[in-house]
Structure 1
Amino acid sequence: MPTPDNGPAQGAVDLISNLRQLNGTFAAREQKVADFVSAHLEEISGMTIAELAGAVGVSTPTVVRFCRSMGCDGFREFKLRLAQNLAVSLQYLAPSHRDVSEGGAGAVDQVLGALYATVNVMRQQIVPERMDAAVQALTEAGQIVVAGVGGGSTMVAQEAANRMFRLGIPAVAVSDSYLLQMRAATLGTNDVLLLVSTSGAADEVVSAAGIAGGYGATVVAITRPGSRLAQEATIAIEADLPEDPDILKPTASRYAHLVIVDALAMSVAQARSEATTENLRRIRASLTAYHGRTGPQPLGD
């Protein structure tokens, strides 16, 4: 059983998980506090320690002991941590309407529905002149560093680098925040830093944009309109993409970002058609020599 003397069994990062895991292990009076808190999660932030103690029927020192058992220094920190948890956790805790999948085909239909809706929203927001400017910068780039931080953005950045190196332009994907700052500092006037960020608020990408731009590199950002990253970029390809309220569906915004990446890659390939065609031929020839297969394969891959 956690006690103030021995220290809490859990840290104070995720109080909701702590509350569930420690349930039944508290001293009797602290358990009463735990039961009340569990049943009134959204109300605690508006209560004083005296009000909570009175509602539960315990003393204020008991409330303090409970907070320390939960990994907090006292009631003030407990309220703050709980409010932070709830800000991001309520959509996962509250019951919500979810589409019922009818087998594998139903799941495919649900994913496709989210994909179509998101990509259509993106299509209506794209500014052609910015796409053209990005294509010109990428076509003339001496090298391209692509970066994204987080699951979806990292995947899109890796695919963007994968598309670009095939066109005969040195390209590398970066997801490590420190390496990104270093890479950004090596770029110059003929280089491009391509950043992917759904929120446009990640400190790592905003900082890298400022560094690369300061050394004269062109910063192309695929991000949210008006975000910190959009304001820092040389060319901002902006789209405010909705997310499905069903938390069990994978995020669809990455599909829209992949469409933008493919459109950029295709346009750059067309602008450099002679070099691109020769590069793709060499790639295909090298793979055929490596694995010996000569049957139909994706021509642009």
Structure 2
Amino acid sequence: MSQESVRDAEETTMIVKGRGAATDVISALQRLDGTFASREQKVADYVKGHLEDISTMTIAELAGASGVSTPTVIRFCRTLGCDGFREFKLRLAQNLAVSLQYLKPESGSDSGGAASVLDEVLAGVYACANVMRQQLDETQIQRACDAIAGCRQFLAAGIGGGSSMMAQEAANRFFRLGIPAVSTSDSYVLQMRAATLGPEDVLLLFSTSGEADALVAAAKTAEGYGAQTICVSRSGTRLFRAARIPIGVDMPETQDIFMPTSSRYVHLAILDTLALSVARKRREQSKDNLRRVRASLTAYHGRTGPQPLGD
């Protein structure tokens, strides 16, 4: 064994065991920076400065560029929670595929004051709304409206921040119109509820990506029992193909990593379109239920002044 290998072996006694698999090797690299064994730190320093080059390098090339031996590179990979260099390269490539824009934000993304930021947000909303209006299939909207207006019970679901919010709002919209409506963002509850739906029921699913496994599975389950399945999602996705009444919207998104997604405003506009259409289709029931809701709130808090009629 060479002297370098002996030194490397001695230095590995400093490694903390049992760190687990490195799902995010970039975060692990940042977290452990400065705590690596001295020769492994050389590898870490080189990797940090050449993140995009590692995928094309061999272990010998990385060792040479870092000025260490190949066993040191292997120990460096294991310190990060990877079994070896091949797994390290794979995980790093996966991380970079989704993380590079966050590691190197666009210059000039910092804007002025609050008014300027508001203009940016509104510009994103307007842009998405205009694209949505051109894409929207009015026939599908009408089919969805008819299904909801005549359903026995209504279930809305979404997985993730924006989609979960939309599902909650959907249930909030339709129970006011006299339709038994609930929402969930729990994947297990969703599967169970989907299995209880039948031909007179509706499942409405929101998804920005259209690829959430839980939503696709729920759509197929509900469809298997005869329920009407509606989705608001990207066209051509697994969820779009699984739903009986797919409402496809393919929204442009800004490359500014700090900008909240504008597509959720589009989903909200589609939901409000469905709610208004259903309310007018069930005009008498809707009026009576909204009156009762307003009367109950007035009795509760005593205020009789103007309030939003839709609420």
TM range (shorter): over 0.9
2:158 pairs with one of 110, 129, 148:
148
2:276 pairs with one of 259, 266, 270:
266
User: Mean alpha-carbon deviation: is it higher for 93-102 or for 132-141?
Assistant: 93-102
Offset, 1:98 = 4.3
Structure 2 matches for 1:42-191, cutoff 5 A? 42-191=52-201
- The DSSP-based 3-state class of the residue aligned with 2:52 is coil
Residue 285 (str. 1) matches residue 295 (str. 2): yes
Offset, 1:21 = 1.7
- The DSSP-based 3-state class of the residue aligned with 1:54 is helix
Per-residue deviation, residues 167-196 of structure 1 (Å, max 9, x unmatched): 100011110000000000000000000000
Separation in 1 of the partners of 2:20 and 2:31?
9
Separation in 1 of the partners of 2:141 and 2:16?
60
- The DSSP-based 3-state class of the residue aligned with 2:182 is strand
Return 5+ residue gaps in structure 1 as ranges: none
TM-score normalized with structure 1 length: 0.97
Separation in 2 of the partners of 1:100 and 1:240?
27
Separation in 2 of the partners of 1:61 and 1:144?
60
Residue 41 (str. 1) matches residue 51 (str. 2): yes
Q: Which amino acid aligns with 2:145?
A: V
Residue 211 of structure 1: aligned partner: 221
Residue 3 of structure 2: aligned partner: none
Per-residue deviation, residues 243-276 of structure 1 (Å, max 9, x unmatched): 1110101111100000000000000000001100
Please provide the CA RMSD for this pair: 1.5
Q: Which amino acid aligns with 1:289?
A: A
- The DSSP-based 3-state class of the residue aligned with 2:125 is helix
- The DSSP-based 3-state class of the residue aligned with 1:219 is strand
Offset, 1:6 = 3.5
Aligned sequence identity (%)? 63
- The DSSP-based 3-state class of the residue aligned with 2:114 is helix
Separation in 1 of the partners of 2:267 and 2:96?
29
Residue 247 (str. 1) matches residue 257 (str. 2): yes
- The DSSP-based 3-state class of the residue aligned with 1:106 is helix
Per-residue deviation, residues 92-140 of structure 1 (Å, max 9, x unmatched): 0113144443322212111111111011111110011111111000100
Residue 294 (str. 1) matches residue 304 (str. 2): yes
Return 5+ residue gaps in structure 2 as ranges: 1-10
* C-alpha spacing 1:131/1:111, structure 2 compared with 1 (3 Å): same
User: Mean alpha-carbon deviation: is it higher for 1-10 or for 126-135?
Assistant: 1-10
Is the 8 Å Cα contact of residues 149 and 282 (structure 2) preserved in structure 1?
yes
- The DSSP-based 3-state class of the residue aligned with 1:146 is strand
* C-alpha spacing 1:2/1:185, structure 2 compared with 1 (3 Å): farther
Deviating runs (4+, > 3 A) in structure 1?
A: 1-6, 8-11, 97-101
Per-residue deviation, residues 191-222 of structure 1 (Å, max 9, x unmatched): 00000011111100000000000000000010
Separation in 2 of the partners of 1:235 and 1:53?
56
Q: Which amino acid aligns with 1:35?
A: D
Offset, 1:26 = 1.2
- The DSSP-based 3-state class of the residue aligned with 2:156 is strand
Is the 8 Å Cα contact of residues 4 and 69 (structure 1) preserved in structure 2?
no
Is the 8 Å Cα contact of residues 105 and 257 (structure 2) preserved in structure 1?
no
